[in-house]
Structure 1
Amino acid sequence: MKRFKGKTAIITGASRGIGLAIAQRLVAQEARVVLTGRTKETLTEAVTALGGPAHALGVAGRADDPAHQADTVRQAIETYGSADLLVNNTGINPVYGPMIELDLAAARKIVEINCLAALSWTQQVHDAWMKEHGGAVVNVSSVSGIQPEPMIGMYGASKAMLISMTELLAVELGPDIRVNAIAPAVVKTKFATALYEGREGQLAARYPLKRLGEPEDIGGVVAFLLSEDAAWLTGQTVVVDGGISLAGAAS
Structure 2
Amino acid sequence: MTSSYGLKGRAAVVTGATRGIGRAVAARLAAAGALVCVTARDGDDVRRTAKELGGIGLAGSVADPGHPARVTELVLREFGRFDVLVNNAATNQPYGPLMDADPGAWREAFTLNVEAPLRLMQCAWQAWMREHRGVVVNICTEGATHVGPNVGAYNTSKAALLHLTRQLAGELAPRVRVNSVSPGLVRTEMARFVWERHEDELAAGLPLGRIGTPEDVARAVVWLASDEAEWVTGADLLVDGGTRVRTAYSDRYAVHDRLRSSVPPHA
Give the gaps of 5 or more residues in structure 1: none
CA positional deviation for 1:47: 1.6
| Rounded Cα–Cα distance in structure 1 between residues aligned with 2:10 and 2:210 | 33
Counterpart for residue 166 of structure 2: 167
Can you list the C-alpha shifts for 1:48-91, whole angstroms capped at 9, x where unaligned?
321x3xxx111001111132211111111111111000000010
- Alignment identity in percent? 39
Counterparts of residues 135-146 of structure 1 (less than 5 Å): 135-146=134-145
2:66 aligns to what SS in structure 1?
helix
Does structure 1 retain, via aligned residues, the 8 Å contact 2:94–2:109?
Answer: no
Q: Which has the larger radius of gyration?
A: 2
Tell me, in whole angstroms, the C-alpha distance in 2 between the residues paired with 1:186 and 1:20.
17
Q: Which amino acid aligns with 1:68?
A: H
RMSD, matched Cα: 1.2
Distance 2:194 2:136 in 1: 28
Q: How many angstroms apart in 1 are the aligned matches of 2:179 and 2:135? A: 8
Structure 2, unpaired ranges of 5+: 248-255, 261-267
Q: Which amino acid aligns with 2:19?
A: R
> Aligned equivalents of 1:96 and 1:109: distance in 2?
13
1:44 equivalenced with 2:47 (yes/no): yes
Normalising by structure 1, report the TM-score.
Answer: 0.95
User: Are residues 1:8 and 2:11 paired?
Assistant: yes
* Residue of structure 2 equivalent to 1:209: 208
Q: Distance in 1 between matches of 2:56 and 2:51?
A: 9
Distance in 1 (CA, whole Å) between partners of 2:44 and 2:108 is: 25
2:57 alignment partner in structure 1: 58
Pick from 32, 35, 53 the counterpart of residue 32 of structure 1: 35
- Equivalent residues in 2 for 1:71-86 (5 A)? 71-86=70-85
Q: Would you say how many aligned residue pairs link Structure 1 and Structure 2?
A: 247
Looking at structure 1, the residues matched to 52 and 217 of structure 2 have their Cα atoms a distance apart, in angstroms, of 18
Q: Distance in 2 between matches of 1:153 and 1:201?
A: 26
Which residue number corresponds to residue 246 of structure 1? 245
Please tell me the residue identity of whatever aligns with 2:167. Answer: L
Residue aligned with 1:138, SS: strand
Secondary structure in 2 matching 1:15:
coil
In the TM superposition, residue 95 of structure 1 has moved relative to its aligned partner by 2.4
The Cα of 1:245 is off from its aligned counterpart by 2.1
Task: Tell me the residue number matched to 2:133.
Answer: 134
In the aligned structure 1, how far is the partner of 2:241 from the partner of 2:52? 28
Q: Is the 8 A contact 2:85 2:136 kept in 1?
A: yes
Counterpart of 1:31 in structure 2: which amino acid?
A
